[in-house]
A and B are shown apart, each in its own frame.
Chain A
Amino acid sequence: MSNTKLKKVDILFSSYSVAPYEILDRMMKKDKTDIIESIIDSGLRGRGGAGFPTGLKWKFMAAEQNETKYIICNADEGEPGTFKDRKLLVDVPRKVISGMAIAAYVTNAKQGYIYLRAEYNSLIPDLEKELKIYHEYAQKFGLDFNIEIFSGSGAYICGEETALIESMEGKRGEPRNKPPFPIQDGYLGQPTLVNNVETFASVSMVCRVGSEVYKSYGTKDQHGSKLFSLSGDSPKEGVHELELGMKISDFVKEYGDGDTKAVQVGGVAGFCIPRKIFDETIIGEGNTTGGATMIFNSSRSMYNVLHNYLDFFAEESCGQCTPCRVGTQQLLKGIEAVKSGDKPASYLDDLVKLSKTMKITSKCGLGQSVTNSFSSIVENFREEMIH
């Protein structure tokens, strides 16, 4: 808690090293276990939102003995308000691909995929160009790891790793039960490492600067830098790289328009933080770390905001499990009924209870996270829900 200043950094978008894939070349001269230990030591956590320690995931993957293993870069960036992976893939694809190749080297995987959402199809030609360069260098370094692009087809849920794998297998993108985790039983039943775009890019930066330097960024609980996709009522919309561990109040002071009412942290699956607790809320502590931040000023109706979120959830629920399929629809109908006066204000409390039930009973992160924004908006902006 000592270090809560907003600090801008420039690691992920820094320029490439002069020799292409120099980091990969350097890593391939190192011991595989040492590389994994250094990533564990860096404290890097998955940047897709769930925040699982990356080095540990790699260690589990390396321990799998199967002949066939897969590495998947999750570029199905569908969380509303998130566009940092897009910028990484446009500006520094080499860092992302280097991270994948390092993962392949330490875990002995031979095949990799970039699962790119359909909405980003326009990025394919440039990515193919970079992959061509990569394959030339991989051959030169003697790394037998092929990377292809797998294009998504427009489904938010496929950002969930098991739904993503299902869709690659030609099935509906419905999440699987966990365990087994993809590390043991992933794509086509083989061990599969799925990491977010930013995670792979961060790995190549950990390898470039070393875990000690990387760890010096952020706080003692949250190491390194993180990309924030900033949109909404802000004069500085765009992707910002910041050290982890800052108060919302610092963030709003730097990026707000002077009239900020609420900040949505972690996309619509995250939390809506009202002005009165800006000072006591640290981004990434107790809220998700996906990095989508949307700023709302006083002119915005939080009812409209919540209605928009619920409309989204109801449409993107894969429909497989009942709590999520029915719950998302009932929450949407419910707030409409309260607004129109068909239901009393106390009905909002029932709806909050329903959303909390969804958290316990839904199969995957989609249904489980609806209550985050639902409860935080209904509880903090109750008046706006009713009148």
Chain B
Amino acid sequence: MIEVAKIIETKIDQIGRDRKALIPVLQGIVAHKNYVSKDDMVLIARELDISAADVYGTASFFSFIEEDKKGKFVIRVCKSITCDMKGRRGILKALERELRIKLGETTHDNMFTLHDVNCIGLCDKGPAMLINDEPFTHLTEEMIPKIIRKKRNHII
């Protein structure tokens, strides 16, 4: 909570104590801990002098601002039509197998969350996915265990 307060303060210093700072503030918190809790929203509301409902309304509108606790790595597999044609269903299955979770869930160690996402602009290199901000393209089912292992080892 102390760190969240610091993030809010930094963003307000940069942008101003104004509603236009709201999305950068939310993004700053997501960058720090991958989601924005209800308590964080109340704090933001107080600092920006707007209602907590407004903060929640804006936060919940955007798919990259999560309101529930997420893993350290949020995986987003593209589900748009051309990635679908090139086998994104197989990629999802491979991820579910490797992580032992279903779509939408988070691993027990809070390392990975598995989501799907609308077009990420990598249609010519499909199937594609993002892990946090990092894109992965031309995916095959065989590549999945390696990618996950790499992420996991890197962090431990």
Interface residues of A (CB under 8 A from B): 77-83, 85-86, 117-122, 150-156, 167-173, 188, 229-233, 237-239, 268, 294, 296, 300, 304-305, 308-309, 312, 315-316, 318
Query: Contacts A80-B118, A154-B117, A233-B85 hold; do A170 and B23 have CB atoms under 8 A apart?
Result: yes
Q: Complex: how many Å from CA A153 to CA B81?
A: 22
Interface membership of B114, Cβ < 8 A = no
B: interface residue count bin: 35 or more
Is A229 within 8 A of B124, CB to CB?
yes
A86, A153, A232: the one within 8 Å of B23 (CB): A153
Interface membership of B22, Cβ < 8 A = yes
Residue of B nearest to A187 (CB): B20
Q: Complex: how many Å from CA A237 to CA B79?
A: 18
Is B19 within 8 A of A80, CB to CB?
no
Interface membership of B94, Cβ < 8 A = no
Is A169 within 8 A of B20, CB to CB?
yes
The 3 closest A-B pairs by CB, nearest first: A170-B22, A154-B64, A153-B62
Interface residues of B (CB under 8 A from A): 18-24, 26-27, 48, 54, 57-58, 61-65, 79-82, 84-85, 117-126, 130, 133-135
B36 CB to nearest A CB, Å: 11
Q: Complex: how many Å from CA A372 to CA B117?
A: 23
Q: Which A residues are in CB contact (< 8 Å) with B135? A: 122
A243 CB to nearest B CB, Å: 21
Q: Which B residues are in CB contact (< 8 Å) with A304? A: 84
Q: Which B residues are in CB contact (< 8 Å) with A121? A: 133
Residue of B nearest to A82 (CB): B121
Q: Complex: how many Å from CA A266 to CA B19?
A: 35
Query: Contacts A121-B133, A300-B85, A308-B84 hold; do A154 and B58 have CB atoms under 8 A apart?
Result: no
Q: Complex: how many Å from CA A270 to CA B65?
A: 29
Q: Which B residues are in CB contact (< 8 Å) with A169? A: 19-20
Is B119 within 8 A of A173, CB to CB?
no
B58, B64, B133: the one within 8 Å of A171 (CB): B58
Is B82 within 8 A of A119, CB to CB?
no
Is A153 within 8 A of B27, CB to CB?
yes
